[in-house]
Amino acid sequence: MTTTDPQYSSHDAIHSVFARLKRTAQQTPYPLAENRLHCLQQLQEAIQDHEIALLDALRADFGHRAHEESRLLELVPLLGEIKHAKRHLKAWMKPSKRRVHISARPANAQVFYQPKGVVGVISPWNYPVLLSLGPLVGALAAGNRVMLKLSEFCPATNRVIRDIVMCALGEDWVDVIEGEADIANAFSLLPFDHLLFTGSTSVGHIIMRNAAERLTPVTLELGGKSPVLVAPSADLRDTAKKLVFGKLLNAGQTCVAPDYVLCHRDQKSSLIDYIEEELAAYYPKGVLSPDYTSVINERQLGRLQGYLNEARAAGVKCDNLMPKGPETRDGKLAFHVLHEPDDALKIMQNEIFGPLLPVLIYDDMADALAYIQQRPRPLALYLFTQQAADRTQCEAHTISGSLVINHTLIQVAQADLPFGGIGASGMGAYHAEEGFRTFSHNKSVLRKRGINLLALFRPPYGRVIHRLVARFWPLL
């Protein structure tokens, strides 16, 4: 059951909001740095003022999510991104100087970073604060107006986000849209100057088709299956510690959560033992532990249980590694390791987005790398190793949105690193300076002055011009 304001959940309403923001953007096409910094400061203060309201709303929407986890996963990286943008905005806004060809001299050339206009952001349910207000930071820093389409699965959080946005920025900068799939579809058909979508690959296809109708440039953050490659040299206890951290925060409902593990045949048993030890330390009461997050709704829980049931029916060993207790309770699903499932199973075809972990084995690192390379390019690749040669090989011979060595998940919270996928895991990037550039038009500006050398070469081309060109064109 979701609740939305009818004023912002009809087709007519979203067209009206878009038209109003478009007019505002046209009236002030290049907001000054001071105006942008004011917006970012107001946003930061509003988030801090609404901290408890946000944490309570997130807990309500998920059924259960610890406040500490929401702070760590949503508020800490979001506030870090705002502070980073405030610190570097004036430097990002400075036009960059470029060389002028000798034929156009004397002149000077620059690239001028201009707001695109009105940016659309479609955010998902798994991190409803970070993945709606995070893109807003880059879009505002670049001087744009923004329409936010929030997930219908997070009504309590949406109400707080609307309060934050209206309190901090008002309708001249940002407006919030709610509604279900039909509204999201209509939203993506608006003629935005840029559209950012975070969500599943299947919906990403629809978003891109809709954007193509208006020639709208898009940034797609799609997720996919992010592998963990455990090299023979890896410290298995440390690997298990960081694997559990990255996999079970938000109950695995993270686009860059470790999706499956590739480890050497001789490592498998020890690695799983260490994982079980870590789970006992993290969640001593299993799914009854107060810090273990619920799956967002019955639909997602049913999908995950369907993966388990299909794997069991196919003869795959599925071990519940949580301390003794029920497999499910109050929307929570126990963490399971699936031993070497076949690639044809749904759990190996689809992004898991939950507390299930396939563990695959290899006999040679080259085979493991080939397995990763033959599959759609992931949003993240996690490598655990103590050998420089392994790091070099992964850096040079694998393509992924990000590569993290000897940890998981922490790349998302780095304010000075871009975040984005490639291929099936997305296109484009935001966060940091790359986010500012994503939401800016890089306009070339050439200022000519003084004499015009090219006038010497205008028609009619006589003998003198022929000799000059023949002699000097290789130098140009």
Of 395, 72, 375, the residue nearest 226 (C-alpha): 375
Give SS3 for 231.
coil
> Between the CA of residue 121 and those of 70, 118, 133, 134, 344, what are the distances in Å?
21, 10, 9, 10, 34
* Count of residues making up the chain: 476
Q: Which residue is it, tokens 């038209």?
A: 19
Instruction: Say if residues 227 and 261 touch (Cβ distance below 8 Å).
Output: yes
DSSP 264-327: ETTTHHHHHHHHHHHHHHH-TTGGG-TTSPPPSSHHHHHHHHHHHHHHHHTT--EEE-SSSS-S
Q: How many CB atoms lie within 10 A of CB 34?
A: 9
Residue 277 catalytic? no
The partner residues of 148 in beta bridges, in order of sequence, read 121, 176
DSSP 197-219: EES-HHHHHHHHHHHHHTT--EE
Exposed, middle or buried, 166 (CB in 10 Å: 0-12/13-18/19+)?
Answer: middle
Collect all residues with Cβ–Cβ distance below 8 Å to 458 and sequence separation of at least 6. Answer: none
Count how many Cα atoms sit within 13 Å of the Cα of residue 133 in the half-sphere of its side chain: 32
Catalytic residue among 178, 221, 278, 433: 221
The DSSP H or E segment spanning 177 is: strand 174-177
Q: Which residue is it, tokens 């296109």?
A: 427
Residue type at position 440: S
Residues recognised as catalytic: 221
